[in-house]
Amino acid sequence: MNIIAAKALPAELPPQHRPGPSPLPMAEPDRDCPLCPRLVDFREECRARHVDWWNAPVPNFGDPNAWLAIAGLAPGMNGANRTGRPFTGDHAGHLLYATLHKFGLAEGDYLERADDSLRLNGAIIINSVKCLPPQNKPTPQEVKTCRPFLQQGLSSLPNLKLVVALGQIAHQSAVKALGGKLPKYRFAHNAMHRLPSGMILIDSYHCSRYNQNTGRLTAEMFEAVFEQAMTLRD
């Protein structure tokens, strides 16, 4: 694992596309991580097209003393891949950050840019795949290749009690990162799993625009996941 070095950031990046320092620098890949060839090619295409976008592995965001980790899927093209911060700048972030605010897990203003005043308290967001995949679909091999970064992120949190996984792919990767075996732990919205290590995992449908527009995930359903998390913490 390498620290994302500030000196490696391109000069063209405006403040709204420059995330703050990672809360877990020891669990971040290099800005030019070469491990997934397809994603590297796509990253280079994006860099050529949008010189002022982040276009790199998206660092974790939140509280290094978090008790709750949210395992996302991967950066979205116009969201985290552009701004450099998970769930920032696309539709999914509105519901996620509104919900975290509601449960006291976030403070400050979410303005869809990396240099706003949003901060997380007791929570952290770690994506299962750190680079932008074409069509938002990482391959199973890419999920596997990036898993050590998820694993390292989760194991670097001294107060971690609970993981919320957003979507089936994040669920499967989180189970494996936490030492569980599939298919014993099956994905279902708001299902709670206790892993062999004692860690608790709760599943949620991903808060993507598609899931919200089709009604698969409502704000009430999403809040129920965090309500359960708060109850289990206490």
Binding footprint of ligand SF4 on the chain (CB under 6 A): 29, 33, 35-36, 39, 57, 129-131, 142, 145-146, 149
Give the position of tokens 């897990």. Answer: 105
Cα–Cα dist 77/73, whole Å: 13
Query: Which long-range contacts link 99-102 to residues 24+ away (Cβ below 8 Å)?
Result: 99/219, 99/222, 99/223, 99/226, 100/226, 102/223, 102/226
Q: Which residue's CB is nearer to ligand SF4, number 5 or number 111?
A: 5
Q: Which residue's CB is nearer to ligand SF4, number 106 or number 146?
A: 146
In this structure, the strands spanning 123-127 and 61-62 are antiparallel
Closest approach of Cβ 55 to ligand SF4, in Å?
11
Q: Which residue's CB is nearer to ligand SF4, number 57 or number 93?
A: 57
Closest approach of Cβ 195 to ligand SF4, in Å?
23
For 203, the enclosing helix (H) or strand (E) is: strand 200-204
Closest approach of Cβ 47 to ligand SF4, in Å?
14
Q: Which residue's CB is nearer to ligand SF4, number 128 or number 212?
A: 128
Closest approach of Cβ 48 to ligand SF4, in Å?
17
Q: Which residue's CB is nearer to ligand SF4, number 121 or number 145?
A: 145
CA dihedral 198, 195, 189, 207 (to 10 degrees): 80
* Residue in 205, 182, 57 with CA at minimum distance from that of residue 128: 57
Closest approach of Cβ 145 to ligand SF4, in Å?
5
